[in-house]
Amino acid sequence: MNSGVLVAATDAGLQICNQNQNYNDCFLHDCTIMSCALSLDGTACYSGTADGRLCRFILSLNDANYESHSRDLTAYPTKGKSSRIVSISLIENNPFNHIVAAACQSPQAVSVMEFYETSVETIWTINEHMGLDCWITSIDALTLYDSENTLHVWMGGSSVDAVNGRTDAVIVRWDVNSSSSDHIDFDSDNNEGNDKEWCSNLDSDWDDENDEDKDFQVPPIFSHNLGHGAVYDMDHSSEQVAVAIDSDVLILEQHHCNSTKINVKEQKRFTTSSLLYAIAIRGDKIAACGAGETIHVWSLSLGIIQFTLQLSAIRHCNLSTNCIVCIAWSNETCLLSGGYDGNVSKWVLTPSLDS
């Protein structure tokens, strides 16, 4: 939710609500929407469908005639193949110019596309034929940000061991140059303390001798196996990356080693009692929610839990669930959440809610 505009991905289309104008509507009502993202100013909305379409809608906050607003651009990250777009992340350049990353399943692919006022350009893509499945076999989470003319594409999900069948949580990062330079810049920092850290080299574990049929992309700048489980969501803030893995939230810091290597250090770990499906960072706070029908809010700087919010929706029977599958910040003290019960809940954080 941004600028009073709320968008929600549902099985019955893309739901859009403008709280400032007491208006709501539904786009793509005959299609299942798997993911959506809203620009910071609330003027552009992107939705990923179950049949492989990445659609942009332009919304005018100052015009009450919303009936004239509809899809103005559609892109196909998997080049027309039917593929579920399960996650979207965007960078805003101006109201009509956004860089959008889309993660697709069946077939699996990730594409970074730049949307202009009247056209779309594919900046970068990687798919199974390019060796994506060598690093991650199921993508469930995606986050995108930029620095020094470089796009950082983080992916989270799981990988299945072909020998023992074990499913492990993995995180992978590719860097995409958005300029003509081939040099990738990283912020310089020192690694201190005894915190857990992982180091990754561009050339490590990269052996394509047994995969001559694949048109390999450049390997990721970083990849790491987090152990048994799966990554269901990711978010970022500055040099920190947050990862939801099973019932934990990991706060990771990235550090420069040299021109071809980075370290990723586990700075903090927050633990809950149930599976987590969504996380969101805003300023010094991070919120997480999932199967426990509860939202937890921690302070990143203090490393302590500040709020515990319990969903109060009535269950229809003991087998029903109000599992919370998505969460977003409206501002520093306001959260919005949605889940299987079909409701959107608004939470206002006040000292009286402090746990």
Average pLDDT of each block of 10 consecutive residues along the chain (355 residues)? 77 81 74 91 89 87 46 79 90 86 93 92 92 92 90 94 88 81 32 46 42 65 91 90 96 76 88 95 95 93 93 58 86 90 86 55
What is the C-alpha end-to-end distance of the chain, expressed in Å?
25
Question: What is the structure's pLDDT at 188?
Answer: 29
Question: What is the structure's pLDDT at 214?
Answer: 58
How many whole angstroms separate alpha carbon 123 and alpha carbon 146?
14
Q: Where are the domains of the chain?
A: 5-284, 285-355
Question: What is the structure's pLDDT at 260?
Answer: 61
* Paired residues of 36 in beta bridges: 47
Q: Look at residues 205, 214, 54 and name the one whose alpha carbon lies nearest to residue 129.
A: 214
How many whole angstroms separate alpha carbon 275 and alpha carbon 231?
10
Contact 129, 141 (CB under 8 A): no
How many whole angstroms separate alpha carbon 8 and alpha carbon 13?
9
* Residue burial 201-211, b: 16+ Cβ < 10 Å; e: rest: ebeeeeeeeee
How many whole angstroms separate alpha carbon 4 and alpha carbon 19?
5
Question: What is the structure's pLDDT at 30?
Answer: 83
Superfamily name with CATH number, domain 5-284: YVTN repeat-like/Quinoprotein amine dehydrogenase (2.130.10.10)
Question: What is the structure's pLDDT at 267?
Answer: 92
User: Measured between alpha carbons, how far is residue 64 from residues 23, 133, 137, 193, 291 in Å?
Assistant: 8, 47, 45, 56, 38
Question: What is the structure's pLDDT at 271?
Answer: 95
> What pTM value is reported for the model?
0.83
